[in-house]
Amino acid sequence: MRAGRATAVVAVLLSSAMAPSAVAQSVPAWAPALDSVANAAIATSKSPGVTVAVVVNGQLAYAKGYGLANVDTKQPMHADMLLRVGSVTKMFTGTMLAALIEKNLLDMEQPISRYVPSLAGKQVGAVTTQQLMTHNAGWIDNAVAYGRMGEGALGEVMREVGDTLFFTGAGRTFSYSNPSISMAGYVGEMAGKQRFASLVESNVLRPLGMRLSTFKPLEALTWPIAMGHMGPNAGGNMTVVRPMTENTAQWAAGFLFSSAPELARYTIAMMNGGTIDGADVLPRGVVRRVTTGYVPHPGGSGLDSAMYGYGLVVGTARVNGKPERVWTHGGAINGYNSSLVMLPDRKVAVVVLANGPGSGNSVIERKALELVMGAPLARATPAAPRDLTTAERAALVGTYAMGPVTVEFAELNGALVMKQGAASLPVKAASPSELVVGPQRLYTRTENGKVVYVYNGSRALARKL
């Protein structure tokens, strides 16, 4: 596997399907340094390949592919190849919904039963699209890689959901939920009176000049495409994901095919208030709605004051000690990993897409930002662990759950442990609301002297009464 060799051309040689105004006209001086880091990152992560796009001053400055698109055919990775982007999809679902609001076709604050009549009289029908889109509906999470196919599948599944989706009350807390975004996509389908994919294409992708991006595998396969890879296997090799992952009922949550340069066009338009190539392609109200933080995001991708918008984490980080606004989201789906970050005040963005393990994506992203800005983007520094106080232990003791996922915090010899299945891990504190459990950082929310939610990553577990 020749993952260390840069094989794709720079943006000036990209496919003619790209809009000419989005193409970089020269190779930046920092490009060789970024190439070196990208090659090293994919070698370390074992990802067959990576594509990267860097936006500077609101223009695509550099786009390149590294490694292989397919380990079986040895096809080189090129910058404009399509990859599945996982949960980066969510910002496109949110942008489509915001466009429907601007057209007075959708009220995000109404119960979703207004748009999905089969849910009338159910608890699930009483949540709002706003709650769904901001992971604030109290719904459990699941991500089903394989499922029904055909564009009618979204409605077939969403019309039949039941109240077992709840693990806590609607509006109580942020908790990442792929089903909630899938339902939000179906609400858009019903409000906009078009299939979900067509709504995203007509309201977002095509106006932005994202000509290849699609939800439809049979369309994606007609363009240059990188296969997803899993592994390494027992022999130390990456293998192509077969069959290709597909579940139409969850398209809205994570199944978009796109390329790094086309995602860069999205970032350019968002950072320019909806304008790209001199044209206003998204109403400013759409940009404002998508990039507004609505619900506090515990942990928040390492950002300060992190909130969740419509498919974006919004917060601040620091460059040379000064706060910078940041909009970001990552994604993962069988065989693919992605990251996208925007610094709107600088009009700088970085997109990294991998067709395998994504552990190298953050390394590439950090280096690209440092090279462009002349200084690193400093995210929140984790506090050192310490022993919990007696009061902190007492506040935590109990059982917490989301669906079938259950953990227990218990006292043991004057210390606290977290039990999950057969595992029992010591618990330390980093702050009154941050725990260190083995290699993980968990977050808590306390009400009336008791912890009511424990957050593992972006997912909440609620105290069982």
What's the pLDDT tens digit per position in 314-347?
Answer: 999 999 999 999 999 999 999 999 999 999 999 9
> Tell me, what's the pLDDT at 25?
60
Digit-coded pLDDT (tens) for 43-64: 999 999 999 999 999 999 999 9
Do 261 and 372 reside in the same domain of the chain? yes
> Tell me, what's the pLDDT at 350?
98
Please report how the helices 31-45 and 361-373 are oriented relative to each other, as an axis angle in degrees rounded to 10. 170
Going by C-alpha positions, the residue among 252, 251, 255, 249 that lies closest to residue 155 is: 249
| Percentage of the residues of the chain whose pLDDT score is greater than 90 | 88
- Over residues 372-398, mean pLDDT: 93
Among the three residues 351, 381, 411, which one is the final residue of a domain in this structure?
381
Do 251 and 340 reside in the same domain of the chain? yes
Phi, psi of 20 (to 5 degrees): -55, -35
Do 86 and 195 reside in the same domain of the chain? yes
Q: How far is CA 35 from CA 61, 70, 186, 188, in A?
A: 14, 20, 41, 41
Digit-coded pLDDT (tens) for 199-220: 999 999 999 999 999 999 999 9
Mean pLDDT across the chain: 93
CATH assignment of the domain containing 172: 3.40.710.10
Do 426 and 351 reside in the same domain of the chain? no
Q: Say how many Å lie between the first and final Cα of the chain, rounded.
A: 53
Digit-coded pLDDT (tens) for 223-261: 999 999 999 888 889 999 999 999 999 999 999 999 999
Structure tokens at 249: 């009922």
Structure tokens at 319: 């460059």
Say if CB 349 and CB 322 are below 8 A apart: no
Residue 24 has pLDDT above 60, yes or no: no
Going by C-alpha positions, the residue among 89, 153, 158 that lies closest to residue 127 is: 158
Do 361 and 451 reside in the same domain of the chain? no
When divided into structural domains, the chain yields a total of 2
Do 405 and 374 reside in the same domain of the chain? no
Query: Which domain, by its residues, includes 134?
Result: 1-381
Structure tokens at 330: 């990552």
Contacts of residue 79, defined as CB under 8 A and 6 or more positions apart, other chains included, come to 8, 9, 10, 11, 14, 51, 52, 53, 63, 64, 65, 259, 260, 261
- Over residues 124-131, mean pLDDT: 98
Do 156 and 293 reside in the same domain of the chain? yes
Structure tokens at 446: 């306390």
Burial class (CB in 10 A: 0-12, 13-18, 19+), 384: exposed
Paired residues of 317 in beta bridges:
324
pTM of this structure: 0.93
